Amino acid sequence: MKKFKDISEFENLLKDTLQGHSTPAPPDVWSSVAASTSQSAGLLSQVTTYFGSATNILKVALFAGGIAAVGIVIYTENTPEINPVQETQDTEQQTDTISSAEGTETENKEYTIATVSTAKVNTPNFKSQKTQTTTSKEEKSTDLTEQVSSTTDNAKNYTGDENSNTDKQEELPTKVAATKLSIIASNLKPCIGETVVLKSAEKGNWFVNDKPIATNCNLIKYKCSEEGLVVFKLGKEQNSTITTVYVQKFTASIISNKINDSEFSYSLDNKSIIANWFLDNVLQETNSHVFTTQIYQVGEHSIKAVPVNNSCAVTIETKTTIERKGSIEIFDVFTPGADGSNDTYKVEISGYENFSIQIFNPAGKMVYASQNPEEGWNGKLFNMGNECLNGVYATKISYTLNGEIPLTKNIKITLKRP
């Protein structure tokens, strides 16, 4: 036992010891401090709120029911097709009607032609060998039925298109000499699901992968459905020209790599892709192929990569689960008595950041306090004084297991001496 010469010697030791003393701060203090000081923390929470509400809006939209949702999707898909063509209001209505009517019929077709009015009529016409069976479709709008009925043959039908296309010819960015055919494609590397608009200065017959799809028109739209090369051919009399479009499919997934218990590295299997990385929906890293981060909190975490250099890219997500690292076992009976068993009251805890125990006697006086779970209470006042009497001792145990939130347990220990 160390003895002190006098109180001053003790005080000097105490001063030296306590001046540099450090107790791990409770983890929740930082969040309060950050919330009331950091501007960026405020901004972050605003962004989070925004994302939260955006998600909510999306959820509400999805809840609007199956049919409604399908309607929205179809409308959304059609909208960009309509706008560049600048159809009249009437034509837009037709498009909607036809799209929904043809939805099931065209599903299994090799390609879906979405040329607004031309294609709607053309596609079935090709199948039906230029007979007017299209008019038998009950679901067609009255407008369209009238239009189709009024056309005696396809040539007349296209004549209608010629009129609308005449306007557009003037808008074409490059005027091509009448003698030379050429195709202008809106996108040579589209993604699956995107629609490519192909224009020509001259009207002609269009072929996709050698299959005829439209005649005597100067604009078609092609909806890309599968990966690979698509060859568009425009023929007029003896002349013909081809344009190829490569439909891209975006494939990338996140490769997770565990560096150690709390450090993880994520990369994309597609080496050419760089992305912005989100951990639990908070932006962590920008424009990077690889993302390395510490994840400490126990539980499931979401890692999202939003690719930035690929137009076909979609958000990729993976999950990482952090297993529990610590454990605690608290007993409520204590029988000191030097009989070799249960002589010291100890909390069995492992894998922890913080631990503190305070024991109070039935009169409410503290009899033991420690931040060291190894030490244990031997039943004496602060392990040094008189033996404490049998009874129920209120005990406050605060702890933080690694990667978990801080917890405080108030329990009662029954002290029984034999």
Partner 1 sequence: MSTSESHDEISLIKACSNGDSKAFRKIYEIHSGTMYSICLRYMNNEDEAKDALQEGFIKVFKNISKFKFTGSFEGWMKRIFVNSSIELIRKRKMHLDVSELNSNELPLTAKIETGSMDAEKMMTLVQQLPEGYRTVFNMFIVDGYSHKEISDYLEISESTSKTQLFKARKQLQEWLKDWF
Nearer to partner 1 by C-beta: 385 or 418?
385
Q: Which residue bears the tokens 């909806």?
A: 223
Binding span for partner 1 by CB under 8 A among 16-24, 174-182, 187-195, 298-306: 16-24
In the complex, least distance from residue 367 CB atom to partner 1, rounded to whole angstroms: 9
Q: How far apart are the first and last CA of the chain?
A: 30
Binding span for partner 1 by CB under 8 A among 30-38, 237-245, 268-276, 335-343: 30-38
In the complex, least distance from residue 325 CB atom to partner 1, rounded to whole angstroms: 20
Nearer to partner 1 by C-beta: 205 or 383?
383
Contact between 39 and partner 1 (CB under 8 A)?
Answer: yes
Site for partner 1 in 134-153 (CB under 8 A): none
Binding string, 351-390, against partner 1, x = CB under 8 A? -----x--------xx--xxxx-------xxxxxxx----
Contact between 62 and partner 1 (CB under 8 A)?
Answer: no
Q: How many residues bind partner 1 (CB under 8 A)?
A: 49
Contact between 14 and partner 1 (CB under 8 A)?
Answer: yes
Nearer to partner 1 by C-beta: 20 or 65?
20
In the complex, least distance from residue 41 CB atom to partner 1, rounded to whole angstroms: 6
Contact between 20 and partner 1 (CB under 8 A)?
Answer: yes
Contact between 57 and partner 1 (CB under 8 A)?
Answer: no
In the complex, least distance from residue 344 CB atom to partner 1, rounded to whole angstroms: 12
In the complex, least distance from residue 370 CB atom to partner 1, rounded to whole angstroms: 6
Q: String of b and e for 346-360 (b: at least 16 CB within 10 Å)?
A: bbebeebbbbbbbbb
Contact between 398 and partner 1 (CB under 8 A)?
Answer: yes
In the complex, least distance from residue 39 CB atom to partner 1, rounded to whole angstroms: 7
Nearer to partner 1 by C-beta: 325 or 380?
380
Please name the residues in contact with 307: beta carbons below 8 A apart, sequence gap of 6 or more: 250, 252, 268, 273, 274, 275, 313, 314, 315, 316
- Give the residues lining the site for partner 1 (CB under 8 A): 1-7, 10-11, 13-15, 17-26, 28-30, 32-34, 36-41, 356, 365-366, 369-372, 380-386, 398
